[in-house]
Amino acid sequence: MTKVVVIGGGFGGLSAAIELANKGFEVDLLDPKSELGGKVARVEDSDGNSFDCGPTVVTLKDVFSNLFTKSNENIDEYVKFNKLDIIARHAWSSDETLDLFADPKKSFEAVAKFAGIAEAKNFHEFSTLAHELFTVLEKTYMKCQKPGMLKMINAIGLRGSKCLLQAGAFNSLWEKLERTFQDERLRQLFGRYATYCGSSPWEAPSTLMLIWDVEMQGVWSVEGGVINLARALKKLAIKKGVNIYKNLCEEILSYNGEITGVRLDNGSHILTDKIIFNGDFNDLDNYLINQRIRNKRVVNYSRKNRSLSAITWMMKHKTAGFELCRHNIFFNSPYRKEFSDIFKKGKIPSDPTVYVCAQDRLNSGSLLPGKEERLFLLINAPANGDFAKISKTEMKTCQASVFSLLKKCGLEIDAPQKVSISMTPQNFYQRFPGSGGALYGRPTHGWLSPFTRPSSRSKISGLYLSGGTVHPGPGLPMATISGQLAAEALMEDLGLINQ
Ligand SMILES: Cc1cc2nc3c(=O)[nH]c(=O)nc-3n(C[C@H](O)[C@H](O)[C@H](O)COP(=O)(O)OP(=O)(O)OC[C@H]3O[C@@H](n4cnc5c(N)ncnc54)[C@H](O)[C@@H]3O)c2cc1C
């Protein structure tokens, strides 16, 4: 039986491990964290309130279900999902709010009421195009191991190429939105999808509009928190025979340019010539690969080439004045400044967009009035956790601007100064050292950037890559797909499946 070592128990590592165990490989998975799931994590405050402190928006449920189905298991027996009626509630002020719904008709009506019938028609066209784009790119890009530009154009054919041209594939997302909507607020709302890849809407390619289609296909909440999805994957991995070791891999070993094994933090070694690495891919270059191999640079990473980081706050309070639903976005202006602050000036935006996840709500009205509720707030921030420290004064100023925006939109939080837990780029850097605090690998900036992400095969024979920092990109479903692609590449190289 071929032994494979999977380094890292994020979604990319877990899915790779499950795929390979299903095919009869002996799989050892290493992760020093007490809970698997990587960025999916849960923290508890001193009063015993627990919070999802990583991903909160779960999409493309099928990606996870398929992993279970392929393992002859039923995901619903492991973890419970609820499809949300309201995808998200968006606010610009106390009398400017817009809900987008799982039901497209309801969204159309809401946009018409918010911005007029002409904009609702533009919204309908935009949604149709986003859906076509998703359909065209799902197999030819997202689920393809190394999608080169020409290979993809060949695969998508004439209809697909037309769709790409219609989307303005060589333009930025913002340019596409300027051509689509008159209403600046709608541009902002859909431009924000670039941040799901840690990018600026002014730099990201217009093709990222397909993320809107991903949300239209469904946004789910996971009962008990997203951590329960990670726990379900872990349970499945164990059931399929994956050996899980609570260890850090300190070094990837090689001899004559070939992978030979790993050295763990307890000094022991595991011998193998097949490794799937699920950490931040920058870590490979930073410290993991031994010197001989390191000369063949695996990645080329600079401080400038980093995606967004975040500042987050978690608290349990009563809210009033603004009916929260599960996912709420509060917009500031001017929007462009947020991204020039972060990407050009490397500073915390002075007027950030604020995302609020009301973790105890399914939809609006699903919480008794006056009851305390758990809130998770997030703003975008520069990924400078390895070389800049946010001072207490900066943090206070930032927090004040966040709560003043919420207030402007009508949301009153009793005792907003009482934050249970907060996280900064520095904390994210400490948790994920190779990243500098960047949460999504490299930013997707420029129309070619989707083709320049590292793919499943590294330049070193026997070493494969998975996770949100490699193709097809960040986000839970994409990281899960990347694990499957890495497993597939490994099996192809062993001649077990056709290329
Ligand atoms: C605050 C925040 C909010 C987010 N919001 C969303 C959202 O709403 N929806 C969404 O879909 N995505 C969201 N994301 C992005 C998503 O979480 C990630 O893209 C995804 O989880 C990345 O998975 P991964 O496979 O790359 O593994 P990671 O989650 O990066 O985990 C990697 C694992 O590898 C382990 N590891 C690293 N090095 C070693 C080593 N040397 N030895 C052993 N183990 C090692 C680490 O301990 C870690 O557990 C968010 C991320 C953050 C941080």
The string of pLDDT tens digits covering residues 245-288 is: 999 998 898 887 788 999 999 999 999 999 999 999 888 876 66
Which amino acid is residue 382, in one-letter code?
Answer: P
- Give CA angle at 364 (358, 367), nearest 5°: 70
Measured from the CB, is residue 160 less than 6 Å from ligand 1? no
Report DSSP state, residue 305.
Answer: S
Measured from the CB, is residue 33 less than 6 Å from ligand 1? yes
Per-residue pLDDT tens digits for 147-186: 888 888 888 888 888 998 998 888 999 999 999 999 999 9
Any bridge partners for residue 373, and if so which? Answer: 317
Measured from the CB, is residue 52 less than 6 Å from ligand 1? no
- Which residue out of 18, 35, 39, 226 has the highest number of ligand 1 atoms within 8 Å of its CB and is therefore the one to mutate? 39
pLDDT, residue 298, reads: 45
Token pair for 416: 């907003």
Phi, psi of 244 (to 5 degrees): -105, 125
Measured from the CB, is residue 439 less than 6 Å from ligand 1? yes
Token pair for 243: 């050996």
**Smallest CA separation from ligand 1 atom 10, residue:** 475
In angstroms, what is the span from residue 472 Cα to ligand 1's centroid?
Answer: 14
In angstroms, what is the span from residue 369 Cα to ligand 1's centroid?
Answer: 35
Answer for the pair 320, 406: CB distance below 8 angstroms, yes or no.
no
Measured from the CB, is residue 279 less than 6 Å from ligand 1? yes
C-alpha radius of gyration, the chain, whole number: 22
Measured from the CB, is residue 168 less than 6 Å from ligand 1? no
Answer for the pair 186, 118: CB distance below 8 angstroms, yes or no.
no
What residues have CB less than 8 Å from 251, skipping those under 6 apart?
262, 263, 287, 288, 289, 290
Give the helix/strand (H/E) hosting 249: strand 249-255
Measured from the CB, is residue 11 less than 6 Å from ligand 1? yes
In angstroms, what is the span from residue 322 Cα to ligand 1's centroid?
Answer: 32
Of 13, 18, 461, residue with least CA distance to 260: 461
Any bridge partners for residue 354, and if so which? Answer: 330
Collapsed DSSP state (helix, strand, coil) of residue 15: helix
Measured from the CB, is residue 7 less than 6 Å from ligand 1? yes
Collapsed DSSP state (helix, strand, coil) of residue 76: helix
Q: Low-confidence residues of the chain, pLDDT below 50?
A: 292, 297-300
Please give the full DSSP string across 318-380, using - where no structure is assigned: -EESS---SEEEE--S-HHHHHIIIIIT-S--SS--EEEEETT-SSTT-S-TT--EEEEEEEE
In angstroms, what is the span from residue 496 Cα to ligand 1's centroid?
Answer: 29
Measured from the CB, is residue 467 less than 6 Å from ligand 1? yes
Measured from the CB, is residue 9 less than 6 Å from ligand 1? yes
- Give CA angle at 15 (273, 435), nearest 5°: 80
Positive or negative torsion for Cα 28, 32, 37, 39? negative
Q: Kindly report whether the peptide bond that precedes residue 334 is cis, defined as omega within 30 degrees of 0.
A: yes
Report DSSP state, residue 494.
Answer: T
Positive or negative torsion for Cα 255, 257, 261, 264? positive
Rounded distance between C-alpha atoms, residue 322 and residue 413, angstroms: 10
Measured from the CB, is residue 436 less than 6 Å from ligand 1? no
pLDDT, residue 497, reads: 81
Any bridge partners for residue 431, and if so which? Answer: none
In angstroms, what is the span from residue 32 Cα to ligand 1's centroid?
Answer: 14
Domains of the chain: 3-81+224-301+450-493 (3.50.50.60), 121-212 (no CATH), 304-434 (no CATH)
Rounded distance between C-alpha atoms, residue 398 and residue 393, angstroms: 8
Answer for the pair 86, 100: CB distance below 8 angstroms, yes or no.
yes
Cβ neighbour number for residue 33 with a 10 Å cutoff: 14
Report DSSP state, residue 141.
Answer: I
Q: Which atom of ligand 1 is nearest to the CA of 53?
A: 1
Token pair for 112: 């018409």
Answer for the pair 87, 101: CB distance below 8 angstroms, yes or no.
yes
In angstroms, what is the span from residue 260 Cα to ligand 1's centroid?
Answer: 26
Any bridge partners for residue 32, and if so which? Answer: none
Answer for the pair 39, 24: CB distance below 8 angstroms, yes or no.
no
- Give CA angle at 110 (223, 215), nearest 5°: 40
Measured from the CB, is residue 474 less than 6 Å from ligand 1? yes
Cβ neighbour number for residue 170 with a 10 Å cutoff: 14
Rounded distance between C-alpha atoms, residue 467 and residue 479, angstroms: 5
In angstroms, what is the span from residue 163 Cα to ligand 1's centroid?
Answer: 32
